[in-house]
């Protein structure tokens, strides 16, 4: 199946710092989704992107749909301890049934 590569794999940052992560695909996507998974919980949708070049914010989070349609970026400004978790990107599978491919995840640790 399709592989979405996320980088970095993990990040350790100080509280208050900004965070950047990205996701790349070998295929063109028409939709990009970003999820956050808290420890011991299921992923929760943060941001959805539907158009190349689109920039969308959700509080301190900003995500961009890459111009090439093969990548997406997520930024978190002024990180806080509750930002800890694993961040996944997702793009739609080409076969039917509404499925998405998920990235390998970026694990974020925020040091108070």
Of 11-19, 56-64, 66-74, 85-93, the window that binds other proteins (rule: CB under 8 A) is: 85-93
Looking at the Cβ atoms of 44 and 78, the one nearer to other proteins is: 44
Helices (H), ranges, 1-112? none
Per CB under 8 A, does 33 bind other proteins? yes
Per CB under 8 A, does 42 bind other proteins? yes
Q: How many CB atoms lie within 10 A of CB 106?
A: 22
C-beta of residue 41 within 8 angstroms of C-beta of residue 54 = no
Distance CA 40, CA 30 (A): 30
Chain centroid to CA 101: how far? 12
Residue carrying structure tokens 């093969």: 70
Per CB under 8 A, does 94 bind other proteins? no
Contact string (CB under 8 A) for other proteins, positions 9-28, x = contact: x-------------------
Of 55-63, 66-74, 76-84, 96-104, the window that binds other proteins (rule: CB under 8 A) is: 96-104
């Amino acid at each position: 199946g399709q592989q979405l590569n996320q980088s970095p794999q993990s990040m350790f940052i100080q509280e208050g710092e900004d965070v950047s992560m990205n996701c790349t695909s070998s295929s063109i996507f028409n939709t990009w989704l970003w999820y956050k998974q808290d420890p011991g919980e299921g992923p929760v949708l943060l941001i959805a992107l539907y158009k190349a070049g689109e920039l969308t914010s959700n509080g301190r989070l900003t995500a961009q749909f890459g111009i090439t349609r093969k990548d997406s970026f997520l930024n978190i400004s002024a990180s806080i301890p509750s930002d800890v978790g694993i961040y996944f990107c997702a793009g739609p599978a080409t076969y039917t049934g509404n499925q998405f491919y998920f990235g390998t995840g970026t694990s974020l640790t925020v040091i108070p």
